[in-house]
Amino acid sequence: MSEKKTLATVWLDGCSGCHMSLLDMDERLITLSSQFDLVYSPLVDQKIFPAHVDITLVEGAIGNTEDLEKIHMIRERTRILVALGDCAITGNVSALRNACGAEAMLRRVYGESAHGPAQNATGKMQDIFVQLPRLFERVQPLHDYVSIDAFVPGCPPTADTIHFALSELLAGRVPDLSGVAKFG
Amino acid sequence: MSAAPGAKTFVIDGVDASATPGQTILSAAREHNIFIPTLCHLEGLGDVGACRLCLVEVKGARRLLPACTTRVDEGMEVTTNSPRLADYRQMTMQLLFAERNHVCSVCVANNHCEMQSMATTLGMTHVEVPYRFPALTVDASHERFTLDHNRCILCTRCVRVCSEIEGAHTWDVMGRGIQSKVITDLDQPWGTSETCTSCGKCVQVCPTGALFQKNRTGERRGKDPSFLPYLRTMREEL
Amino acid sequence: MMSHEELEQTTAKVQQEQRAAGDRINVCVAAGCLSLHSDAVQKSLTDEAKKSGARCSVRGVGCMGLCSAGPVVSHEPAQAVAAEDKTTAQPTRLYGGVQPGHAAKIVASLNQEPVRELAIDTAMPFFAKQTKIVLENSGSINPESIEEYIAAGGYRALLRALHEMTPAEVVQEISASGLRGRGGAGYPTGLKWATVARAAGATKYVICNADEGDPGAFMDRSVLESDPHRVLEGMILAAYAVGASQGYIYLRAEYPLAVQRLGVAIREAKRMGLLGAEIAGTRMSLHLEIRLGAGAFVCGEETALIASIEGRRGTPQPRPPYPAESGLWNSPTLINNVETYANVSPILARGSAWYAAQGTAKSKGTKVFALSGKARNTGLIEVPMGMTLREIIFDIGGGVPAGHTFKAVQTGGPSGGCIPESLLDIPVDYDSLMQAGSIMGSGGMIVMDDSSCMVSVARFFMEFCMSESCGKCVPCRAGTAQMHGLLTRITEGVATHRDLDLLVRLCEMVGATSLCGLGQTAPNPVLSTLRYFKNEYLAHIEDKHCPAGVCECATTPAEVNA
Ligand SMILES: Cc1cc2nc3c(=O)[nH]c(=O)nc-3n(C[C@H](O)[C@H](O)[C@H](O)COP(=O)(O)O)c2cc1C
Ligand code: SF4
Ligand code: SF4
Ligand code: SF4
Ligand code: SF4
Ligand code: SF4
Ligand code: FES
Ligand code: FES
């Protein structure tokens, strides 16, 4: 048997539900884990994305400047990049705000609520949160910015789907979920 | 083979088959258990050839032909699937998903949607064309039903069932191109419609989450348009 | 009841009146010149003629072709009006840019030298290279006078056909002439007529498609405004040939002048017994009605047009069934374009052999074009099929104005394509244009020079298709919007090669799967510009630069992600 593959999982603009579903594989995850080293993930303590990763699963869409920087970096350092879950593939729940735009969404959530922060000079909500990555007007799927090698739809994808996808990846194949995968 | 009088013989996916006079390719294909994807077609309603999913290759024809509206001719040679057709069908689904706001995970029709399952059947794993994210409205003014433009695919099943079967003609299409939308009466809130009988047929035939019954959740959200062929047949026999 | 003798009597009377009136001053009152207030010119010429007592008449006529020189006025000397042989007569003088203030000068010049500063050279290739069949009367007869149409030879073919030919013989003549539909697709007219004639059905209809919606097209409008009886005569002949007794002219409401003139023509033809019940004393009847379209381009598509006449939403339907078998109210229906009908009477009058002798092997006769854009001479022209694009643009059109170079010519409107300099020597016929990635279309011809960005041009036509799509079928409704979005990204300098690949895939898919011609041909402007001007696309994508300097391309990555 060949060397263990390195695996990373990343959490961008998503709810972490896809990661929960990953864990839902339960004991099957333990079986599979003999075939990979988890080198980066919200589930482990590693803070720096390694220079070379065999497989990266990305949950969540691209919603702000930080997401964008990350996905470009991850793409460069990853051999097989997998979009995990509907947010990564379609924008999904994260993109619900697209119809109204970032500014209107912030205003609704923070500006119009009773204890929202005071108005600032520019009158723009975005300018109040200067310490945070700036939100894009539109949340977009990963493949709008970088090339993606495999898509695993579902919100979240079921544990079975993820198991199938991961098994394929570990066996050196790109999982083809066409005809099986379902959105939602 | 003892064919009915006037029966047409033709070849579909390499298999010899027969069709009754005037029968469409789609109907004949289904009788022979050959799958052709459809969205705007619904058994019991007039066909419009709008979704283009059912396009098939017919030998000698200059263009692809919609199986739902094309009648079988003697000796026709039909191919219902090919790499090219599969590619076009997937692109059609992608165009539909990108046209409005389809968020299956939070949609009332999740797991009960013909569009969602068609995407799976046709092997769509992602959408390559840019999402348009239009700002659209929801009309919840009717006491029993809701119209959500975000999920409408303009198949006009609602328009047809309301006019052809219910005879109310409450629905119509307004506007052109990408701005088209279904409307009730003279583009007024559904709840104020004077023609709507609240029969609910449009809700049952709507393939997506665009039309749904209020206060129905979970597994009870499913729709059942199977009443249509029966209604049709009964009326024809009268 | 109208007979041959009466036609000749009418002709003699008109000619006599015209001779008695002396010199003839014709003012173009077709839409182009009218928009430049040629009605005021006509009025001051009339006043001036009266005041001076000169022996002349002033009349309003249809388009004389050189619209770019409008308002256009022509002066036929009395000797020429009276002459039997026009070739040896004194030439007609042509004036351009005529203002009401010029009236006195023109009237004073009748028996003198022409007015130099207004004169247009009638020997220039613009006029010399044209062959006029459809436009033969345009600009020389009063469109509101049926007598003048008769005096110019009109309605002879109709009477002869009604009295001496069977319907089948009329169909045969049209088939033999090789005439093809001028509405865009070039379907053989004789074949269509034969299909309708053969179709079973007690009631049949004839329809004239005058919905002309292509941007830049005004051929049909001009024919209707300048010589409406020619179209009526063609329709009556068609109705006789296929056995129809009811007909419709579907006309854009945006053409009020055409509506009015056609209305006058229908009334006059009825008054003369040439339309309505028992035409010219025969058993043939035809009732014609005008139906106004509300300006939807797609209503020019035949099945949508029929739906619109029936009072339904104007959306196309899958064919078959073709209108020839099942059209208006499910009856066999003949639908032809204005210019197609305008060719019918000359073919029957002069014979199919005469007609078939003009043009190329597969494209017979002439074609009217609305020449526009960056050419020195623009306006309405009629040329024999097979003339090269170069002759049309550089001889008739006079080439592009000084300081610029020719880049492309667009034919076929939103369904057509852009043809580059290297292909200018192809003959203008249905098949050659198709091979070059464009189409003949209905006759729009837009000349573009180096100041045009071909990506912007493609985007302009895509925008047109997107907003004129009826919205019925998915590929056209959503696909044109997507293609427009991608083209916009390219012009903004934010597109990638992935966008370009997607655009090409969509072009193929939308073209192959759309329900009607609008969607099926919407990709053509993109495909043809990609074929001949791909470097311009690449410049926008790779260098964020518009070679023609038309587009404002984004320059910083920040703008790209915004
Ligand atoms: C979107 C669309 C618009 C059209 N518009 C016109 C039009 O304005 N005038 C016209 O004569 N034909 C138009 N056509 C073509 C007609 O459908 C039809 O082919 C034509 O009227 C037949 O006449 P012909 O055989 O004399 O050309 C259009 C077709 C399409 C698909
Ligand atoms: S796809 Fe669903 S589960 Fe996954 S991150 Fe998005 S919202 Fe959460
Ligand atoms: S209508 Fe169907 S496809 Fe659209 S969001 Fe709802 S479930 Fe998904
Ligand atoms: S409920 Fe019945 S009557 Fe009302 S709009 Fe729907 S189909 Fe028409
Ligand atoms: S509301 Fe439903 S049935 Fe009506 S057009 Fe939209 S998707 Fe089709
Ligand atoms: S191709 Fe376009 S215009 Fe034609 S039917 Fe489809 S949507 Fe309507
Ligand atoms: S099912 Fe035939 S076009 Fe929609
Ligand atoms: S409109 Fe006057 S010359 Fe054409």
Does the pLDDT at position A119 exceed 70? no
For the stretch C460-488, pLDDT in tens is 999 999 999 999 999 999 999 999 999 99
- pLDDT on residue A123: 73
- pLDDT on residue C185: 86
Domain ranges of chain B: 8-80, 86-237
Interface confidence (ipTM) of the complex: 0.95
> A83–B124: do the CB atoms touch at under 8 Å?
no
For the stretch B10-37, pLDDT in tens is 999 999 999 999 999 999 999 999 999 9
Fold of B8-80: Ubiquitin-like (UB roll) (3.10.20)
Tell me the shortest Cα–Cα distance from A46 to chain B, in angstroms.
Answer: 31
pTM across the whole model:
0.94
**In a structure prediction context, what are the per-residue pLDDT tens digits for chain C, which is 562 residues long?**
578 889 999 999 998 988 888 999 999 998 889 999 999 999 999 999 999 988 999 999 999 999 999 999 999 998 888 877 666 777 889 999 999 999 999 999 998 899 999 999 999 999 999 999 999 999 989 999 999 999 999 999 999 999 999 999 999 999 999 999 999 889 999 999 999 999 999 999 999 999 998 888 889 999 999 999 999 999 999 999 999 999 999 999 999 999 999 999 999 999 999 999 999 999 999 999 999 998 899 999 999 999 999 999 999 999 989 999 999 999 999 999 999 999 999 999 999 999 999 999 999 999 999 999 999 999 999 999 999 999 999 999 999 999 999 999 999 999 999 999 999 999 999 999 999 999 998 899 999 999 999 999 999 999 999 999 999 999 999 999 999 999 999 999 999 999 999 999 999 999 999 999 999 999 999 999 999 999 999 999 999 999 999 998 865 444 444 4
Nearest to B97 by CA among B123, B122, B126, B121: B126
Compute CA distances C156 → C5, C7, C342, whole Å: 10, 8, 14
C-chain residues within 8 Å CB-CB of A136? Answer: 561
DSSP state of C364: B
Q: Which amino acid is at C249?
A: I
Nearest to B20 by CA among B72, B79, B78: B72
- pLDDT on residue B165: 94
- How many residues can be counted in chain A? 184
Ligand nearest to the CA of C313: 6
Residue C40 Cα to ligand 8 middle (Å): 15
Give the binding-site residues of ligand 4, using a 6 Å CB cut-off.
Answer: B 161-162, 166, 168, 170-171, 196-202
Close Cβ partners of C398 (under 8 Å, ≥ 6 residues apart): C125, C126, C375, C376, C377
Does C187 sit in the ligand 1 pocket, CB within 6 Å? yes
Compute CA distances B33 → B40, B217, C226, whole Å: 20, 33, 60
CA distance A53 to A36: 11
Better pLDDT: A114 or C98: C98
3-state secondary structure C216-263: CCCHHHHHHHHCHHHHHHHHHHHHHHHCCCEEEEEEECCCHHHHHHHH
Tell me whether residue C19 is exposed, middle or buried, using C-beta atoms within 10 angstroms of its C-beta: 0 to 12, 13 to 18, 19 or more. exposed
Answer yes or no: CATH 3.10.20.600 is held by domain B86-237.
Answer: no
- The residue among C299, C467, C482, C506 with the most chain B CBs within 10 A of its CB, best to mutate, is C482
> C562–A68: do the CB atoms touch at under 8 Å?
no
3-state SS, residue B1 = coil
List the residue whose alpha carbon is closest to atom 1 of ligand 8: C32
By most ligand atoms within 8 Å of CB, the mutation choice from C174, C189, C218, C301 for ligand 1 is C301
A12-21, A127-136, C340-349: which has the minimum mean pLDDT?
A127-136
Q: What is the mean pLDDT of residues A9-23?
A: 97
Work out which ligand 1 atom sits closest to the CA atom of C213: 8
Domains and CATH numbers, chain A: 5-97+138-170 (3.40.50.700)
Q: Which of residues 54-113 of B touch C (CB under 8 A)?
A: 55, 63-64, 66, 69-71, 87-88, 91-92, 95-96, 98-99
Q: How many C-beta atoms surround the C-beta of residue C254 within 10 A?
A: 14
Does B170 sit in the ligand 5 pocket, CB within 6 Å? no
DSSP annotation string for B137-161: -EE--SSSEEEEGGG-----HHHHI
Does the pLDDT at position A116 exceed 80? no
- Whether residue C558 lies within 8 A of chain A, CB to CB, comes out as no
- The residue among B118, B125, B127, B129 with the most chain A CBs within 10 A of its CB, best to mutate, is B125
Q: Please give the distance of CA B231 from its chain centroid, rounded to a whole number.
A: 18
- Whether residue A68 lies within 8 A of chain C, CB to CB, comes out as yes
- Whether residue C88 lies within 8 A of chain A, CB to CB, comes out as no
Nearest to B196 by CA among B186, B206, B205: B186
Q: How many C-beta atoms surround the C-beta of residue C166 within 10 A?
A: 11
Number of DSSP helices (H) and strands (E) in chain A, helices first: 6, 7
> What is the chain C residue with the closest CA to B91?
C509
By most ligand atoms within 8 Å of CB, the mutation choice from C337, C340, C344 for ligand 1 is C337
- What's the pLDDT band for B236 if we cut at 50, 70, 90? confident
Does the pLDDT at position B1 exceed 70? no
Tell me whether residue B16 is exposed, middle or buried, using C-beta atoms within 10 angstroms of its C-beta: 0 to 12, 13 to 18, 19 or more. exposed
Tell me the shortest Cα–Cα distance from C313 to chain B, in angstroms.
Answer: 9
A-chain residues within 8 Å CB-CB of C501? Answer: none
Does the pLDDT at position A1 exceed 80? no
DSSP state of B20: -
Domains and CATH numbers, chain C: 21-123 (3.40.30.10), 146-356 (3.40.50.11540), 366-449 (3.10.20.600), 454-561 (1.20.1440.230)
C81 touches C19 (CB < 8 A): yes
Tell me the shortest Cα–Cα distance from A116 to chain B, in angstroms.
Answer: 26
For residue C308 the two structure tokens come to 């619109």
3-state helix vs strand vs coil in chain B, percent to 5: 30, 15, 55
CA distance C401 to C391: 16
- pLDDT on residue C174: 98
Work out which ligand 7 atom sits closest to the CA atom of B38: 1
Better pLDDT: A111 or C275: C275
List the residue whose alpha carbon is closest to atom 29 of ligand 1: C301
Nearest to A54 by CA among A177, A174, A178: A174
